[in-house]
Amino acid sequence: MTSRLVCVSNRVSLPRKASAPGGLAVGVLSALKHMGGMWFGWGGELSDEDPGEPTIQVRDGVTYALLNLRRDLFERYYNGFANEALWPLFHYMPTRFCYRHEDHDAYQEVNREFARKLLPLLKPDDLIWVHDYHLIPLASRLRELGVRTPIGFFLHIPFPYIETLRVLPTYVELVRDMMAYDLVGFQVQGDLRSFQASVERCLPEARIENAETIRIGQRTVGTGVFPIGVDVEAIQASAQRAWGSASVRRMVASLVGRKLIIGVDRLDYSKGLVERFAAYEQFLEVFPENRNHVTYLQIAPLSRKDVQSYAEIRHSLEQAAGRTNGRFADTDWTPIRYLNRNFPHETLMGFLRAAHVGLVTPLRDGMNLVAKEYLAAQDPNDPGVLVLSTMAGAAHELSSALLVNPYDSRAVVHAIQTALTMPLEERRERHAAMLETLRKNDIRSWAQRFVTRLRETSTWRSPRESLVSAVRARP
């Protein structure tokens, strides 16, 4: 019998058309739709009391198990430890790092709650796939409850080198928790090397046997690089449908023949938006012939509104957009259109297809699927040009993009100008090369490669035996 796939993430995203799903949600949904299974995680509701058991929904063959969380725990677990300690540290930004013991305690308690509520829903032959930095301790908590089924972990964000990770007071515990998994996956080779260096430093009893295995005690933990991709055909179809929609037609008409530069990013300091806005202002200074001939559309939906640093970046961007528009705008031209709202995914794909330049310049990013979506959405006969940060995981695959250091404003300025003036033949050649890579490493391939490795890697007891013992161990 084929094993059921159980995906676990901090947040479960029910399919809806109101907004574009993030990279994690796109990947999990794609895996479950093709393989079947259950998605377990927080459903978005908070409670002041014991939230009770998860609610179950079934949509399009996928089971969604939605867990409620206590309000006081969530604040410290999510806004506190996950996003004020782990997020900045994993993105190599220790100056934004903030550690509080009570936040770490809440992080551990929420992971225990996830394990307790997931346990009754498991079946003997399940494969469990845990996603991202919010749930690093989950395998350890499940093992404590007696679960011995295969458990894999995939980190969607970067993993820092040991000298950065050591800023975290509990870094040894974190590395040990990651070794409770059967398979640990990363976006790029550099993240895997950083993890191996951390294991060598933190766990002297562990032995790195090769690029794909670490031996600890009687167990072998699999490791690997699994760059997440996109559904190329689905994006192309969405972009083509959206091209004729009222929203996209209205946006294109409003350009009045001007070339469109586009950025689509969650509002986050790691995305390099402040630096990007400054580079665009400099671009209009250095290449004045572009004034009134290009429009920069930046879509940046709000995120983590309760974290102070995100309110600060929003204020900085509003000031930067206002300054640039105040300096260069004309009665019939606004240089920057800055929107703090989301759009349906199909509409976004239409916007990407319309753009002559895709501007993707994060200061640090695990992968960045917007870069891949931009390429997939393009018309191959007249494609736009991707300007991509070397600090994004996607740069390791998309070498035919115009690669820039996001801290080097002069390089970004000249890359934008190069993109706008690039001949059609060169644009086609670059786009075709990158599209071939996207098809080879698409979203389905990503999920299949990880799950196949997970099936092969488990060194715990048989799934059926493990679940029986776990049930007997329940209080």
**Catalytic one of 104, 156, 345, 431:** 156
- Side chain identity at residue 238, one-letter code: S
Residue of 132, 191, 365, 442 marked catalytic: 365
Structure tokens at 211: 């690029």
Q: In what order do the strands lie in the sheet with 206-210?
A: 55-59, 62-70, 37-47, 5-11, 127-131, 151-154, 183-186, 219-225, 213-216, 206-210
382: annotated active-site residue: no
* CA of residue 57 relative to chain centroid, distance: 25
Q: Annotated catalytic, 315?
A: no
Antiparallel, parallel or unpaired: β 151-154 and 127-131: parallel
Q: Name, in order, each residue with C-beta under 8 angstroms of 342's C-beta and a sequence gap of 6 or more.
A: 18, 19, 20, 299, 301
Cα Rg for the chain, rounded, in angstroms? Answer: 23
Burial track 99-114 (b if 16+ CB lie within 10 A, e otherwise): beeebbebbbebbbbb
- Partners of 151 in the β-ladder: 128
Place of tokens 């995100």: 310
Distance between CA atoms of 290 and 294, rounded to whole angstroms?
Answer: 6
Active site members? 156, 365
